[in-house]
Amino acid sequence: MKKARADSWQGYWTTKIGWAEAGKILVRGYRAEELIRHLSFAEAAYLVIRGELPTRAQARALDAVLRSGLDQAFISSAVPPARFAASAAPEAPAAAIAAGVIAFGSVTGSPRECAEMLAAAHRERTKRRLSLAEAARRTVGAYAKDKRRIPGLGHPVHKRVEPRAAALTEVAKTLGVWGKRAQLFDAVAREATRRFNHPLPANLAGVIAAVLLEIGFDPLEMVGLGVLSYLPALIAHTTEEIREGHPLRIIPPELGARYAGPAERPLPARHAKRRAGRA
């Protein structure tokens, strides 16, 4: 823990991102009005998060990543919490969106885990001058040994091809940003398919991880970018729920609810004998 000594409280909230004072806003050193006039959203988002302007190809690749989430209806762990919350608290649509954002964790197909795997494998490859195939073999081998799922591969619904993953890969190749780390991802997918003897197609989180690594993002930042690519879906579902949904949604037995706890039982005598309300 960095020590915040009494005399240093004045710099307690130091940021390199932006600054505002009367009539003037700087973002990473640039005037806000200039950015709004001359950049695209993808360029501005890159600048705000990374601190420097992207190249044209980087900006286009980021735009492609952001538009790849789109929507998959209820094949998502994030849309249902947003809709349950909106059905119960329609007066707070941003909070309902937040309930969905919370669900972007380690299991949801956040790009972070795959990016960390690829970054580590790439460092190892560079250090030991390994071929793509050999680096992939080591990576897949390590996950197989620990019986861990390889992040970025496989999908519960799309068993052969994830259409969004395939389209984003194609766009990234067209833009010339499918570089060394992304090719390593391809090699990992091939090796996993070989080793486990069944197709393990790249999923969207995996391709996003590969592309974002190539255009300069670090894995921690990818969590939020994954959220951003899904935000239009969360907005659409939240507003659809508030306008046309069911107030106070539940999960009834007809939709999967079941009780597997103890059968009905009486309170033990030592409790049941207490005078009601005087516990």
Residues 14-53 that bind a copy of itself (CB under 8 A): 14-45, 48-49, 51, 53
Which residue, among 192, 229, 203, 246, has the nearest Cα to 41 in the 3D structure? 229
Binding mask 77-116 for a copy of itself (x = CB under 8 A): xx-xxxxxx-xxxxxxxxxxxxx-xxxxxxxxxx------
Which residue, among 226, 245, 228, 230, has the nearest Cα to 84 in the 3D structure? 245
Tell me which residues in 205-224 interact with a copy of itself (CB under 8 A).
220-221, 223-224
Longest dimension (CA), the chain: 77
Q: How far apart are CA 240 and CA 249, in angstroms?
A: 14
Tell me which residues in 123-152 interact with a copy of itself (CB under 8 A).
149
Least CB distance to a copy of itself at residue 131 (A): 29
Tell me which residues in 224-243 interact with a copy of itself (CB under 8 A).
224-228, 231-240, 242-243
Least CB distance to a copy of itself at residue 180 (A): 20
Q: Which of 171, 200, 202, 208 forms a contact with a copy of itself (CB under 8 A)?
A: 171
Q: How far apart are CA 208 and CA 7, in angstroms?
A: 44
Using the rule CB under 8 A, is 252 a contact of a copy of itself? Answer: yes
Q: Which of 137, 141, 197, 264 forms a contact with a copy of itself (CB under 8 A)?
A: 264
Using the rule CB under 8 A, is 268 a contact of a copy of itself? Answer: yes
Give whichever of 102 and 120 is closer to a copy of itself, judged by the CB atom: 102
Are 111 and 212 a contacting pair, CB within 8 Å? yes
- DSSP assigned state of 7: G
Q: How far apart are CA 198 and CA 189, in angstroms?
A: 11
Using the rule CB under 8 A, is 199 a contact of a copy of itself? Answer: no
The one-letter amino acid code at 271 reads H
164 is written with which tokens?
């969004």
